[in-house]
Structure 1
Amino acid sequence: MNGTAWDATAWAGLAVNLGVTAATAVTVLLATFAVALRRRLHRIVDIAWGLAFGAVAAVTWLLSAGQGDDGRRLLVTAATVLWGLRLAAHIARRSRGHGEDPRYTALLDKAPGNRTRYALRTVYLGQAALVWLVSLPVQAAAYSPEPLGALAFCGIGLWALGLGFEAVGDHQLARFKADPANRGRIMDRGLWAWTRHPNYFGDSLVWWGLYLFACTAWQPALATLVSPVLMTLLLTVGSGKRLLEKHMEGRPGYAAYAARTSGFLPLPPRRGALPPHGR
């Protein structure tokens, strides 16, 4: 971070971009809402989560042409789109053939009044707002005139590590579940032996990495800090880790797994708490 101030042109361009990307996020989630109503399946909103980030990044890249540094614009856009498409594809494969997600069933069962309007307001428009807010570093980075520097390269390294954790963790879990011999068992192998949530941990690293792209001056760095902080909170105490562990806590063997395995940050399994067969 060079500590210099952004000029008025960069702020003006970003201000216009913020309005257009807000409309973009809402459009993607409204289209998803229409498909969900037609299919009577709200879980497809999870697929739209990654796609909405990709759409915001692509629109930002188009709007920022001629304003921000081309290398920074291209790299932050490609990183966001790749992350979003991988996540959307993974969730689509995982969800194929399944009914409604119990999380959405439980949420809508508590709806005060019309379930459809409640789903629109809390699930779809709520996620559109989160997409816009979390993507602030991606939008700000595209308007920075600074060429790629040390922080940007640290950012892409952190992003790559996070994407790797997320993708490998998802792949390991999918293979584990595909084996009939593992039915009813707790996944505690590979990355899952070091953290109970390698995918969520990786997701957090991705967004801290993207945040570093916006740290070309103290003003955008400070203005967009809310984004990686918010994403990390969503993954740990929001709708990610907390809800999943609440769902898993009654499963046989889960208490022992939780006792020996870090809840978020990857750490070696606690000594003396390994399963008898040494998995």
Structure 2
Amino acid sequence: MDWLLLMIIVGGISLAMTGAWIAQRATGKSGWIDTIWSAAVGLGGILAAVSAEGPFARRMTVILVVAAWALRLAWHIGARTKGGGEDPRYAKLVKDWGASASLRLFIFLQVQALAAFVLVFAIYLAAINDKAYPAVTDFLATILATVALAGEAISDAQLSRFRRRPEAKTEICETGLWRYSRHPNYFFEWLFWCCLPLFAITSSPISPLALFAPALMYWLLVHVSGIPPLEEHMLRSRGDKFRGLRQRVNAFFPGPRKSKFVSQGE
């Protein structure tokens, strides 16, 4: 296992997040942070997979799905950031941090760079799997990645169309996949990282460590930087309309809509 290369990759991601910090400070648009993070994780993962010694076909499959993830997400967030305003999640953090916002944001982004190590390492584990290719798990992993990428792209497109409507300033998106989950884009983002443990499954005792990638993404999206700050913003801006949505629609996992008279536990 080439730990030196992995450390170099994480160091590169750290430098990229320093660049993201500079971009946010210069433009006031925090969307560049997630744009740069997505591109940096994708490039780091590709480099890790290229350096691995697993079967060429599996490594190429892993590289392709990771590249598709990174290119789509970085392009989507970058385009949204270029044409829009500040991300309300980061705006709230910067406001709460006050005079120390610049330093604390820098530290926060370096923590994101360290978290990226978990994802890059999972990609590496998938690529070094020396089991004969293709295995059933490879087919399942590829299907899962495809469904996740398509689902996230559809979710983002549906939300983008809704935001172009006049009523988007006061209403909440409940069209398409947004009828069945309050955050379908987050759900499919998490689902994508579930494909890596499938690619990585082998007799090696370290292959289960790939499970930390989807576990980390679930924790971040559901409990830290995804749903909590975004829903706090929605409660401030939409009030009772959003409270009603929380009673009808699951927060993360897609499911049938509930009667508005039945309260959903969070």
TM-score, normalized by length of structure 1?
Answer: 0.85
CA offset at residue 112 of structure 1?
8.0
Contact preservation (8 Å) 1:191, 1:198: yes
Distance 1:222 1:210 in 2: 10
Structure 2: runs of 5+ lacking an equivalent: none
Moved over 4 A (4+): 271-274
Distance 1:159 1:257 in 2: 29
- Between the aligned residues of both structures, percent identity stands at 29
Q: Does residue 241 of the first structure (1) align with residue 227 of the second (2)?
A: yes
Distance 1:198 1:50 in 2: 18
User: Of the two, which has the highest radius of gyration?
Assistant: 1
Q: Give the partner amino acid of 2:139.
A: F
Q: Give the partner amino acid of 2:148.
A: G
In the other structure, the counterpart of 1:3 is none
TM-score, normalized by length of structure 2?
Answer: 0.89
SS of the residue corresponding to residue 187 of structure 1 reads coil
Contact preservation (8 Å) 1:29, 1:45: yes
Structure 1: runs of 5+ lacking an equivalent: 1-11, 275-279
Contact preservation (8 Å) 1:151, 1:213: yes
Contact preservation (8 Å) 1:32, 1:48: yes
Aligned partner (choices 36, 55, 64) of residue 48 of structure 1: 36
In the other structure, the counterpart of 2:91 is 105
CA offset at residue 24 of structure 1?
2.4
CA offset at residue 271 of structure 1?
4.2
| Greater relative CO, 1 or 2 (CA 8 Å, sep 6+) | 1
Contact preservation (8 Å) 2:94, 2:105: yes
Distance 1:113 1:246 in 2: 23
Distance 1:272 1:25 in 2: 45
In the other structure, the counterpart of 2:201 is 215
Q: Does residue 200 of the first structure (1) align with residue 186 of the second (2)?
A: yes
More displaced stretch, 110-119 vs 50-59: 110-119
Paired positions, count: 259
Aligned partner (choices 238, 241, 247) of residue 253 of structure 1: 241
CA offset at residue 130 of structure 1?
1.4
In the other structure, the counterpart of 2:48 is 60
Q: Does residue 137 of the first structure (1) align with residue 125 of the second (2)?
A: no
Contact preservation (8 Å) 2:31, 2:78: no
Q: Does residue 95 of the first structure (1) align with residue 81 of the second (2)?
A: yes
Distance 2:242 2:101 in 1: 34
Contact preservation (8 Å) 2:89, 2:230: no
Q: Does residue 117 of the first structure (1) align with residue 103 of the second (2)?
A: yes
